[in-house]
Structure 1
Amino acid sequence: MTTFRDLGIFPETAEALEAVGIVSPFPIQEMTLPVALSGTDVIGQAKTGTGKTLGFGLPLLERVVVPADVEAGRATPDQLTDAPQALVVVPTRELCTQVTNDLLTAGKVRNVRVLAIYGGRAYEPQVEALNKGVDVIVGTPGRLLDLAGQKKLDLSRVRALVLDEADEMLDLGFLPDVEKIMAHLPAKRQTMLFSATMPGAVIGLARRYMTQPTHIRAVSEDGEGATVANITQHVFRAHNMDKPELVSRILQAEGRGLAMIFCRTKRTAADIAEQLERRGFASGAVHGDLGQGAREQALRAFRNGKVDVLVCTDVAARGIDVEGVTHVINYQTPEDEKTFLHRVGRTGRAGNKGIAVTLVDWDDIPRWQLINKALELDFHEPVETYSTSPHLFEQLNIPAGTKGILPRAERTRAGLKAEDLEDLGETGGRGGRGGRSAQAATVTEERPARTRTPRQRRRTRGGSELGAEQAAVSPVAEAPQEPAAGDEPRRPRRRRTRVGAVPVQSAPAAVAEAPVAAPVVAAPVAEAAPVAEEAPAKPKRTRTRKVAESAPEPDFQTVPLAEPAPVRARRPRRIVETAPEPDFQMAPPVEPVRARRTTRKAAAAPVTPVAEAAAVAVAEEAPAKPKRTRTRKAAEAAPVAAEAAVAAEEAPAKPKRTRTRKVAAAPEA
């Protein structure tokens, strides 16, 4: 039996492989190594799971010069460099990490530095590792081009290039990027292409980038079949509504190890993973809508056995090698025969047996028949199958009576949550999806909203309404004044609603009272009572409050305006009618505000000398009454013509000149 040592690889590399139990090569490795070690360009093709990674990995490691080679006398010190000497380009991030791990294992004894460079992770650690020095780089096209464009990645020393899954890399999606990467490489290099599927057009395209390549196609003992012989194929025609139940029963077949379920769309993959989790299965998902941390967490949990069902899109169909996968289920028919081969090739690897089940929906029958013909399979007309069909239980060895929910006694796996979610410093919009950072962000966004709600819910509305009612019941105006401070924000609304009717009614009342109260010496005291009575009619204490609010500023103005009591009255009238509409205007014009405050203080001045006990009562009620009292007092003081002129001048500041006219009308009556 041939061993790796017989193929002429370094003894250190053979020692590293023997340490993990790899002694004899697979056919593709045995055929490729002698050709690749000589420096010739190679196109390698072999079935899935037959060791293509080491087929190109071992020649790469041999071409890299490391300090161990200098010590062994195989190289000179001047051949050493910190720039990468070999480059492997792969289509998916998951395959990138897998190939990196395989190369690290094989190069462990020689201490070969291998670095994975792919998107979805932070730039800084990758740039830092490049600065320290790297021998082999494994990467995806996007991030490789990004770092090369920023001059962080030097590809001028690369001696060997490998395109893994070459048919995918030279497809229309990746071809432009691959060509740009090749432009960064030296013209003199060794190029190797490897894949399980290598269409003729791809081989023709590949020759543009290669020099007299040798095409190696490894055929195993089982013959020419497209799929590995130890994979048992089952194809069923299934209804989309019954598929979740059908899959749940297949997953309870006897002897099932790990299982991979392939879907065509990201949404379906996420949905099936969630449904299986509800049915009691330890399931994870790998698809493009997940952040890189979540993708790696699911794959890690699957490898470690914490999750035994991995639902994924075709992003995990190529190259992923997990030991112990016994079942592969094509939940949706693959796009073409290449995808089918790569999906099914996740089981039956390295000589193990596996079972592949393909569920074909009615709409997918034409597509399936094309795949069946291309691969020369024997399932042209799949059997119509439901979750209760007897032949399903027989062919897949499912115990009789199995239902679509996993019994609690069999739920022994730790599950996806048992695997730590690594913080990769993810880049791009998808980084935080479903991650802790996203949750934290939502929490911080909600907090400000919570603090706002109490402000919006201010119970001032209820309080203000109650205040108005209390005013109607009791003639004391002080009680309603207390809630004034809290009611400020809602006053505008009330005024607008009631301003129309209430002030009109109150105006004539004030006019009628004016002549009666005029002869009385203690005019303010006499009017105080009627004012309190009318308060309920004018629920516009909000206006009063606004007057009160602005009062503290113009205290110094009180002295000059103390003499004219009548002026106060007319100004309040304007305030009464004007307040509802121009609340917003009150702030900018300082003059009108002062007038109102002056009025209050002025009102207080005449009251003080008037009467003994009456004066005390007036002083207490002054803040509430003066506002309305002024309205009526204005009628008493109307005879003064000079004051009327002053009022007319102030009217424009307060757009309620109509009120000014009302004031003038009062004396006429």
Structure 2
Amino acid sequence: MTTFAELGVDQDIVDVLASKGIVDAFPIQEQTIPLGLPGQDIIGQAKTGTGKTFGFGIPVVQRLGLNPAPGVKALIVVPTRELAVQVYEDMDMLTSGRATSVVAIYGGKAYEGQIDQLKAGAQIVVGTPGRLIDLNNQRLLDLSGAVQVVLDEADKMLDLGFLADIEKIFTKVSPIRHTQLFSATMPGPIVALARRFMTNPIHIRATDPDEGLTQANIEHLVYRAHSLDKDEVIARILQSEGRGKTVIFTRTKRAAQRLSDELGDRGFNTASVHGDMSQEARERSMAAFKAGKKDVLIATDVAARGIDVDDVTHVINHTIPDDEKTYLHRAGRTGRAGKTGIAVTFVDWDDLHKWALINRALEFGQPEPTETYSSSPHLFSDLNIPAGTKGRLTTAPRAQSADASKSRDASKSRDGSKSGGESRSSDGRRTRRDRPEAEKTPQAAPAAIVDGPPAPEGSTETEGGGTHDGGGSEHHDGNAAPRRRRRRRGGARTGGAPTV
């Protein structure tokens, strides 16, 4: 392994990385950093989770110097909001020992904060194409001084239809610049883009061309599962021995939220990321997941590339992805930074044809997924689930709520005054039913009324068992005297109820 210091990285950056436990460089970093530092244009081809951000980020920060002048000097373009946040955090860490400011520019958040940072002189901008062009058109973002330009996940930007926006951005930046382009794949339009806007780029592949399509350090398990049993299966998988952070992918936003609510009710610490959530809510979920406050993240595919967490041990495909590329992006959330991982995929009966295509494209050799239920012995053995595990944690909220309800009921039954309907007024004072003299009077009232003549016409039963006829026979101030007068007029009752 090669250290960052051996690659010619400045000591302050080396120290910042070391403080985070990052000392040795990954293959993509070993190959790109020595070329990027002197200003060589680079096309970097590597799968997600191989350390690309530091591969292009360290040369950008180091080439700007310790104290760059205010104004945008470096531009990093990414396809999604989640990836913008991730790259921003990494770049912010790299510049923590320097007078260099980083700002994230993307949609879904208010303009004001981003504009304020630009006006304050931020030198590095990380952003998505739409918001970058928007601010540039409003003359709030000047890109003419950007001499460092990076395109990250270029193939994803092509898939999302950002190619025209990228070309427009290149016309706004400095014509004399250092350009780096990173992509997992190299389709024709990306190659054409590189030829048009880059100067004699060197193409670097971080992996062996003969390496298999899927990562060898990820175990792939494929089950044919019943839709009504999936929640139970997932809940048991989440109790596997050695399970760390887990990402669960669903096909729709509604399914993501439903599953998040269901697993939360079963006692699991879940967060969700999907299109129906505000950008702030999505960022809070991602931050909680990265910090370990939540260990289960439920997401739709829109968030897949923004989940850059090294300690994800399991990826679960609640619904099968539409194609092999999406499968690889999902599975790539685990097994990162050289660690091992497990990818579990559920295939519905109606989606067997999709699995056949993915299986053929990725050369899995599993044409028939194993029929699996929450009670299947092979599920427990495949995923190291302890015997007897059920789909609900003992600390599940529903169980706690039921216990609390029983405790309250028992408390009420022990306290006779509560069963009689005690209450408090809005200002916290005890009402008439709480006063000792009032507690005695209502208890005698039912005996005096039940066997007597019916209540006057138009009267209604009160909560305490007496009557209220709207004519002032019972005062709202709690005076019980009218009730005693009514019993005297009734005379002696059958059964010998004493009069007051």
Superposition TM-score tier, normalisation by shorter sequence: 0.7 to 0.9
Q: Determine the C-alpha separation between the residues in 2 that align with 1:213 and 1:192.
A: 8
Tell whether 2:256 aligns with 1:285. Answer: no
CA contact (8 A) 1:86 1:159 kept: yes
Counterpart pick for 1:161 among 149, 153, 158: 149
Q: Determine the C-alpha separation between the residues in 1 that align with 2:357 and 2:268.
A: 34
Tell whether 2:207 aligns with 1:219. Answer: yes
Q: Determine the C-alpha separation between the residues in 1 that align with 2:340 and 2:229.
A: 28
- Secondary structure, counterpart of 1:408 in structure 2: coil
Q: AA paired with 2:363? A: E
- Secondary structure, counterpart of 2:343 in structure 1: strand
Q: Determine the C-alpha separation between the residues in 2 that align with 1:109 and 1:12.
A: 6
Aligned residues: 399
Deviation per residue, 1:517-553 (Å, 9 max, x gap)? xxxxxxxxxxxxxxxxxxxxxxxxxxxxxxxxxxxxx
Equivalences for residues 48-197 of structure 1 within 5 A: 48-67=48-67, 80-197=68-185
Question: In angstroms, what is the RMSD of aligned CA positions?
Answer: 2.1
TM-score, normalised via structure 1 length: 0.57
Counterpart pick for 1:403 among 383, 386, 390: 390
Deviation per residue, 1:7-58 (Å, 9 max, x gap)? 1222222222222221111000001112222322211112332111101111
- Secondary structure, counterpart of 1:16 in structure 2: helix
CA contact (8 A) 1:170 1:178 kept: no
Counterpart pick for 1:320 among 307, 311, 314: 307
Q: Determine the C-alpha separation between the residues in 2 that align with 1:284 and 1:87.
A: 31
* Deviation of the 1:347 alpha carbon: 1.2
Q: AA paired with 2:308? A: D
Deviation per residue, 1:191-234 (Å, 9 max, x gap)? 212133334553344433323322111126x9602233221111
* Deviation of the 1:130 alpha carbon: 0.6
1:23 aligned residue: 23
Q: AA paired with 2:386? A: P
* Deviation of the 1:139 alpha carbon: 0.8
Q: Determine the C-alpha separation between the residues in 2 that align with 1:93 and 1:319.
A: 8
Q: Determine the C-alpha separation between the residues in 2 that align with 1:265 and 1:405.
A: 24
TM-score, normalised via structure 2 length: 0.76
* Deviation of the 1:319 alpha carbon: 4.2
CA contact (8 A) 2:331 2:343 kept: yes
Q: Could you say which structure has the greater relative contact order, defined with CA pairs below 8 angstroms and 6 or more residues apart?
A: 2
Q: Which has the higher strand share?
A: 2
Q: Determine the C-alpha separation between the residues in 2 that align with 1:383 and 1:199.
A: 35
Q: 1:329 to 1:96 in 2, by over 3 A?
A: same
CA contact (8 A) 1:47 1:227 kept: no
Q: AA paired with 1:282? A: N
1:494 aligned residue: none
Q: Determine the C-alpha separation between the residues in 1 that align with 2:63 and 2:359.
A: 42
Tell whether 2:236 aligns with 1:249. Answer: yes
Q: 1:89 to 1:223 in 2, by over 3 A?
A: same
2:222 aligned residue: 235
2:465 aligned residue: none
Q: Determine the C-alpha separation between the residues in 1 that align with 2:343 and 2:392.
A: 22
* Deviation of the 1:386 alpha carbon: 1.7
1:492 aligned residue: none
Q: Determine the C-alpha separation between the residues in 1 that align with 2:331 and 2:103.
A: 29
2:471 aligned residue: none
Q: 1:364 to 1:404 in 2, by over 3 A?
A: same
Q: 1:84 to 1:66 in 2, by over 3 A?
A: farther
Tell whether 2:272 aligns with 1:272. Answer: no
2:478 aligned residue: none
Report which of the two structures shows the higher radius of gyration computed on alpha carbons: 1
1:209 aligned residue: 197
Q: Percent identity?
A: 58
Q: Determine the C-alpha separation between the residues in 2 that align with 1:352 and 1:245.
A: 28
Q: AA paired with 2:3? A: T
Moved more, 399-408 or 25-34: 399-408
Tell whether 2:375 aligns with 1:358. Answer: no
1:5 aligned residue: 5
Q: 1:159 to 1:392 in 2, by over 3 A?
A: same
* Deviation of the 1:327 alpha carbon: 0.7
CA contact (8 A) 2:266 2:396 kept: no
- Secondary structure, counterpart of 2:360 in structure 1: helix
Q: Determine the C-alpha separation between the residues in 2 that align with 1:385 and 1:198.
A: 38
Q: 1:354 to 1:410 in 2, by over 3 A?
A: farther
CA contact (8 A) 1:88 1:139 kept: yes
Ranges of 4+ aligned residues in structure 1 off by more than 4 Å: none
Q: Determine the C-alpha separation between the residues in 1 that align with 2:199 and 2:275.
A: 36
Q: Determine the C-alpha separation between the residues in 1 that align with 2:365 and 2:99.
A: 49
- Secondary structure, counterpart of 1:242 in structure 2: helix
Q: Determine the C-alpha separation between the residues in 2 that align with 1:254 and 1:278.
A: 21
Tell whether 2:30 aligns with 1:47. Answer: no
Deviation per residue, 1:105-144 (Å, 9 max, x gap)? 1222223211111112111111111111011110111211
